[in-house]
Amino acid sequence: MDKIFQKLLQAGIDLSSVGVECRKDSQTYFCTPKGASVFGWNGVDGIHFCFVRGFGGMVFVVSPVNPFPNYVHPLAENFTDFLRLLLACGDVAALEQAWMWDKAQFEAFLQDNPPTWEQQETLVLVSEKLKLTPMEQPWAYIKNLQASFDYSKIKYIEEYDDVVNPDTELTSPELKVYFDGGFWGHSGKDRAGIEIRLDQQFEWAGHHWIIPAAYSCGKGLVVDFCMRTPVEDIRKYMEKWNLSLDNDSCVNFTKEQQLQIDLDNPLCIDFIPRLDLNGKTMQTSHGCSVTFNPCWPDGIINESEAKWAVDHYGLDASFGWMIFRAAFPWAGKRCPQIKSLSLTMEQRPCRVPGPHFQVHAPGDRFTFSHPVSGTVYTLTVQNMEPQTLSQSNFGSNRYFYPTNFIAMDYTLSPETEEDISVSDCCDGDKPIKIALREDSFTPKAQNDACVGIIGGADGPTAIMVGGKSQEGLHMVCSSLHFEPVKGDIEWSAMFNIKYFDEAMFTLV
C-alpha cells in the first residue's frame, strides 16, 4: 500500500468533499482494468479511481460514460502527486476532464469553480497532516503524463471487447439488477435480484409510465420506472432552448435559464416513490436514472445503458424514455412473500423563478401572484442597506473573494406557509485566484463571526449573518461584488411548487 495513502487513512481524512469517496467494495465496470485496486468513487457516472497491478503507485481514473476509447487515463505518478493535484485544483472534476481540454479551458474551469468552504477545510487537513503543497503546474503535469503513457499496456476483462469493439455489432448484455448497483455495475458481492414481472402501466404527471419489473434482492426490492415522452415534445423543448451537440452546456445559460430549462425538460421529473408491501410502507434509500433521447444520434449522447434497458424491456424506441431505478430496503431482516404491492408517486417540489422587481428604500412595495394558488402577496421593504464581509470569513488565501452586498429585510402580506423566497437575479462577481508561493498553503485564520454563505461556487445568492430574524421578518442578500453595490438590485420571487397531486397505483 502506498505510504501516503496509508497515512491518509490513518489520519481519517475524508476526501468525499473534493470528489473522492473512499469505499471498501469490489465494484467494477466493463472498462475497469484487470488488476485494479479501486480506492475512491466520484459519486456520478460510475467514475472511480484506482491503482493497477503492474504500474506501481500510479493513480488512474476510470470514466465508464466517456466515449471510446477514453475510458481510462493516468492522473498521477503516485498518490502523493495525486493529492498535490487536488490541492492545486480544489476538486477532482478538473483532473478527470483534463484529457479533453487545452490549457485555457482547464484554467477557465478552475476559475469558474473555486473550492467551497467544505472543500477548503479538507484541503487544509491534507496539506497540514501530510505536509504537502499544491502542484505548481497541474495541467502541464497531467498532460505530460498522459502524452507519454502507453495505453496499450492496460489490460481489460473480456467484457470490454464485447462492449467497445467497433467492428462488431453492439448487443445488449444480460440484464442483472443488484440492490447496491445501478445501470453501470454494482458494488459488493451480493447476488443479482430475482426478476418479478409486473408489466403495469399508468398515467401520472402528464406522462405514460411503465413498470415492467421489480427485482427481489437480499437487502430489498429494486423497481425500474420507465417514463415515456413523445418525440414531438422533445423536439419542441430542444428548439425552444436551441439545444444541440454544441449548445447543451450550463455555461451558455444564466442560472435562472438553467432552472427553467430543467423545468421544461420533458425527460426529467423529480419524484419520490413509496411502496406499500403487505400493508407496510417501504421508502426508497437510493436510486439512479438514464435517459434515452431519439433526437440525439446513437452513440454520441445516449448512454448505451439506456439503449440496453429500452431493448430489454421492449420499449418503443420512437419515444423518449427516462428510466429510474429505485431501491427499497426490506422492512424486516428477510424478504417477505409478496401478497400485495402498491405504489405511491409524489412529486418533489421544484424551484420556479417568478417575476422580477426592483425596490429602492424602506416602505417600497411589490405585489405579485402565486403561479399555482393565485394568491396575491405584497412584499414590503422594512430595511435595505449595503454591507461588507471580511476576507477572513472565507478562510482561504488561494482566492480573493468579492465582499460587498446589499441586505434587505422585508415582510410578506398575507403571511403564508407556501414556500416563497427572494433571490438576486445577478450572479455576482467570481472569486479571483491568487498566485501562491511554493511553500504556502495555510489559510488565513477565520474570525468568530457567524456568517453562512448559501449558493454556488461562483457567487452566493443569499447570505445569512448573525441569528434568527424577527417573527414575520424575512431577510435576503444580494450576490457578492468586489465594488460597493450601486443602483437598484433586480430581485426575483422564487417558488417551490408541486404541480401534480400524489397518486397511488396497484402493482400486485
How many residues does the structure list for the chain? 508
DSSP string, 266-311: TT---EEEEEEETTEEEE--EEEEEEE-TTSPTTTTS-HHHHHHHH
Same domain for 177 and 243? yes
- Is the pTM of the predicted complex or chain greater than 0.85? no
Same domain for 133 and 251? no
Same domain for 280 and 242? yes
Pair 289, 319: CB distance under 8 Å: no
The domain boundary residue, chosen from 111, 134, 160: 160
- Residue pLDDT, tens place only, 423-458: 999 888 888 876 544 444 433 333 333 333 333 333
448 grid coordinates: 468568530
Which pLDDT belongs to residue 138?
94
> What are the CB-based long-range contacts (under 8 Å, 24+) for 247-255?
248/301, 251/112, 254/427, 255/427, 255/456, 255/461
Same domain for 345 and 365? no
52 grid coordinates: 493497477
Same domain for 335 and 192? yes
| Residue 482 is assigned to a structural domain of this protein | yes
DSSP string, 211-276: EEEEEE-SSEEEEEEEEEE-HHHHHHHHHHTT--TTS--GGGS-HHHHHHHHHH-TT---EEEEEE
Hunting for cell 439512479 — which residue is that?
Answer: 288
Same domain for 343 and 441? no
Same domain for 185 and 328? yes
Pair 436, 398: CB distance under 8 Å: yes
Task: Give dist(CA 389, CA 478) in Å, integer.
Answer: 12
| Residue 59 is assigned to a structural domain of this protein | yes
Count of the separate structural domains present in the chain? 3
The domain boundary residue, chosen from 138, 160, 182: 160
| Residue 412 is assigned to a structural domain of this protein | yes
Q: Strand 207-216 to strand 48-52: parallel, antiparallel, or no bridges (unpaired)?
A: unpaired
Distances (CA, A) of 86 to 96, 123, 209, 374: 11, 8, 43, 49
Q: Helix 3-11 vs helix 79-89: angle between axes, to the nearest 10 degrees?
A: 60
Q: How would you classify residue 7: left for phi > 0, otherwise alpha for psi between -120 and 50, otherwise beta?
A: alpha
Which pLDDT belongs to residue 258?
85
Same domain for 37 and 114? yes
186 grid coordinates: 454494482
Same domain for 93 and 116? yes
| Residue 372 is assigned to a structural domain of this protein | yes
411 grid coordinates: 415582510
Pair 274, 283: CB distance under 8 Å: yes
Which pLDDT belongs to residue 163?
56
Pair 66, 116: CB distance under 8 Å: no
| Residue 248 is assigned to a structural domain of this protein | yes
| Residue 423 is assigned to a structural domain of this protein | yes
Task: Give dist(CA 266, CA 322) in Å, integer.
Answer: 9
| Residue 167 is assigned to a structural domain of this protein | no
SS3 for 338-367, per residue? Answer: CCCEEEEEEECCEEEEEEEECCCCCCCEEE
Same domain for 127 and 190? no
Task: Give dist(CA 341, CA 278) in Å, integer.
Answer: 6
Which pLDDT belongs to residue 487?
80
Task: Give dist(CA 421, CA 343) in Å, integer.
Answer: 32
DSSP element (H, E) containing 89:
helix 79-89
Enumerate residue ranges in the chain where pLDDT < 70: 1, 23-27, 158-173, 184-189, 245-251, 297-303, 395-398, 434-471
Task: Give dist(CA 125, CA 18) in Å, integer.
Answer: 12
| Residue 166 is assigned to a structural domain of this protein | no
Read off the amino acid at residue 122. T
Same domain for 302 and 448? no
The domain boundary residue, chosen from 94, 128, 160: 160
206 grid coordinates: 402528464
What is the residue range of 203's domain? 173-350+500-506
Same domain for 484 and 375? yes
- Residue pLDDT, tens place only, 259-286: 899 999 999 999 999 999 999 999 999 8
Distances (CA, A) of 93 to 48, 106, 116, 255: 12, 10, 13, 20
